[in-house]
Chains A and B, each alone.
Chain A
């Protein structure tokens, strides 16, 4: 990040804050914007983020559907990361897949009192949560499925997340891009570490053995093939390994 970017961002934040301030809303200057955002194109994403965090009540639950609404569901992006040469291939993932994911573990670390690795059995010992929700892809399509898992907030609290936590980073097997959430979305009651889909174990093409569901953002925040979760006491948007560096919006509540 260079000085010009920092300056224009600050000016922009002040401008955006003033615009929202015109609506007589306090507290908007407290919203911190993702640090990797620089270009003019991203100004609107920042303004959207600030507006959502300021104007919308935090953590409203998204609409839940009924069983008869469950629809066909395309699998896109990485769908076979256990196959060499295919998109998102990972040798480590291939090895786990060959063992039926028995050796798979989810590492939770960072600003937590009890960093540890959870097996699938460990995760299934938490009370499970099931929700039928809509997946909304940035491409324009949508699909409805039933998801079963454990709320991320439960696992973070069990790991002893410290009050200094600001962001949560997700490392996955299918790529080096790090996806992150702020605490409002990380602790959203429907943000789910998901191991079941439509009443059965998650299929490989949908992110087995564990994927994330971020129901109040666009589909690409709901990462498949989870490997590691790192809680940070700084606002980490992935930096040069983040989606913003790859040209995509970090916040996709819109």
Chain B
């Protein structure tokens, strides 16, 4: 068993951290790619349970021709009154590659689910989360936080140690990704599955409806893409060769 507080230079990435890191990387890239395709088919986001081309959107993304309102005809109201729900027939040809897009998304989703489950269980039972990932209360002072933030903003990045000796902001970023963003993506994904919410309607309640879950799914995906971009910058700035060796074959020199 490793000691409670290992000396910073003795610790390296374990095999399960390295393998799950790269499996999650592959599945994340596939999820982002297929997720973008799925979003292009209906690039409009809403809050609540219902949202469609005949309703106002919270956010409309001009990433495919499908966002345009043109091509609806023969309006008919379902009831009397000025704000009565209506129906219209869609006449324009839409972009839609969801036949493979959705299946690829779910394939990558399963990959993420299994790799994520292994990572979370191992992280808990080996003490990795406790020792390396979760920021200590004593670290979380405003002063230390401000100092680390200033260092990052002025690109004074610590040299790589080749192991899990993380800085404060780094811990906070990894903590958010591991315990908030990825679990949030999985749960909002489940909330978009009609068979799952039939058995577990609390998911719809928790996220405020199907379309809210879809919008949160998108916002968390944006946050994760931004995290990956920052992560890559930090890997480069802290010593790309050493970091890559540490996360693959392993670092020779401590």
Residues of chain A touching chain B, judged by Cβ–Cβ distance below 8 Å, are: 19, 40-45, 47-48, 52, 56-57, 60-63, 65, 69-76, 79-80, 134, 136-145, 197-199, 203, 205-206, 215-218, 246-249, 253-254
Among B44, B109, B195, the most chain A Cβ lie within 10 Å of the Cβ of B195
- Report the 8 A-B pairs with minimum CB-CB distance, sorted nearest first: A253-B195, A140-B42, A44-B107, A141-B52, A72-B54, A71-B50, A247-B99, A79-B89
A-side contacts of B85, CB under 8 Å: 70-73, 198
How distant is the Cα of A215 from the Cα of B193 in the complex, in angstroms? Answer: 11
Q: List 15 A-B contacts (CB under 8 A).
A: A19-B114, A40-B107, A44-B103, A44-B109, A48-B110, A56-B196, A72-B87, A74-B53, A139-B94, A141-B52, A142-B211, A143-B50, A205-B74, A254-B106, A254-B193
A76 vs B66: C-alpha distance when bound (angstroms): 13
B124 sits at the interface (CB 8 A):
no
Chain B residues proximal to chain A, CB less than 8 Å: 38-39, 41-42, 44, 49-55, 66, 72, 74, 76, 78-79, 85-90, 94, 96, 98-100, 102-104, 106-110, 114, 192-199, 201, 204, 210-211, 214
Query: Are B195 and A254 within 8 A (Cβ)?
Result: yes
Shortest Cβ distance from residue B102 to the other chain A in the assembled complex, whole angstroms = 6
Contact between A249 and B53 (Cβ–Cβ < 8 Å)?
Answer: no
Most central of B49, B51, B109, B114 by chain A CB within 10 Å: B49
Contact partners of A43 in chain B: CB under 8 A? 107
Q: Which residues of B contact A42 (CB under 8 A)?
A: 103
Cα separation A147 to B74 with both chains bound (whole Å): 21
Nearest A residue to B50 by beta-carbon distance? A71
Option from A69, A79, A145, A198 in Cβ contact (under 8 Å) with B49: A69
Report whether B98 and A138 are in contact in the complex, using a CB–CB cutoff of 8 Å.
yes
Q: Hey, which chain A residues are within 8 Å of B108, CB to CB?
A: 44
| Known pairs A52-B196, A63-B197, A69-B49 / 15 extra A-B pairs, C-beta < 8 Å | A56-B198, A65-B49, A72-B88, A73-B78, A74-B53, A74-B87, A74-B89, A75-B90, A79-B89, A134-B49, A139-B42, A139-B98, A140-B44, A144-B50, A218-B194
Assess the B55–A72 pair: CB atoms within 8 A. yes
Question: Which residues of chain B have C-beta atoms less than 8 A from A215's C-beta?
Answer: 194, 198
Residue on B with the closest CB to A144?
Answer: B50
- Give the complex CA separation of A254 and B30 in angstroms: 18
Residue of B nearest to A198 (CB): B78
Measured between beta carbons, the chain A residues less than 8 angstroms from B76 are 203
**Whose C-beta in chain B lies nearest to the C-beta of A63?**
B201
Contact of B199 among A57, A140, A218 (CB under 8 A): A57
Q: Are B194 and A136 in contact (CB under 8 A)?
A: yes
Specify the main secondary structure of chain A where it touches its partner.
Answer: loop
Residue of B nearest to A248 (CB): B99
A52 to B196, CA, bound (A): 8
Query: Chain B residues with Cβ under 8 A from A203's Cβ?
Result: 76, 87
In the complex the two chains form, what is the Cα distance from A33 to B96 in whole Å? 26
Is the CB–CB distance between A69 and B50 below 8 Å?
Answer: yes
Q: How far apart sit A215 and B201, CA to CA, in the bound complex (Å)?
A: 14
B90 to chain A, nearest CB (A): 5
Which residues of the other chain, B, contact A253 by a CB distance below 8 angstroms?
193-196
Look across to chain B and name the residue whose beta carbon is closest to the beta carbon of A205.
B89
User: Nearest Cβ in chain A — how far from B234, in angstroms?
Assistant: 32
A139 in contact with B96 (CB, 8 Å): yes
Given A253-B195, A253-B196, are A73 and B89 neighbors across the interface (CB < 8 Å)?
no
A60 vs B193: C-alpha distance when bound (angstroms): 13
| Residues in A neighbouring B109, C-beta threshold 8 A | 44
Minimum C-beta distance from B174 to chain A (A): 27
Smallest CB gap from B96: residue in A:
A139
In whole angstroms, how far apart are the Cα atoms of A254 and B109 in the complex?
Answer: 11
User: Which of A72, A140, A247 touches B39 (beta carbons < 8 Å)?
Assistant: A140
Given the interface pairs A63-B204, A73-B87, the reply to whether A216 lies near B194 with Cβ below 8 Å is: yes
A45, B198: Cα distance in complex, Å: 19
Q: Beyond A75-B90, A80-B89, is A141–B195 a contact (Cβ under 8 Å)?
A: no
CA distance A137 to B211 in the complex (A): 11
B-side contacts of A136, CB under 8 Å: 192, 194, 210
From B190, which residue of chain A is reached at the shortest CB distance? A254
> Once bound together, how far apart are the Cα atoms of A114 and B70, in whole Å?
49
Q: Knowing A47-B110, A76-B90 are in contact, say whether A142-B52 is a contact too (CB < 8 A).
A: yes
Q: Cβ of B39: which chain A residues have Cβ within 8 Å of it? A: 140
Residue of A whose beta carbon sits closest to that of B54: A72
Return chain B residues, CB-CB under 8 Å to A69.
Answer: 49-50
Q: CB distance B194 to A75 under 8 Å?
A: no
Give chain B residues whose Cβ lies under 8 Å from the Cβ of A141: 42, 44, 51-53
The answer on a CB contact under 8 Å between B110 and A44 is yes
Contacts of A79 in B (CB 8 A): 89-90
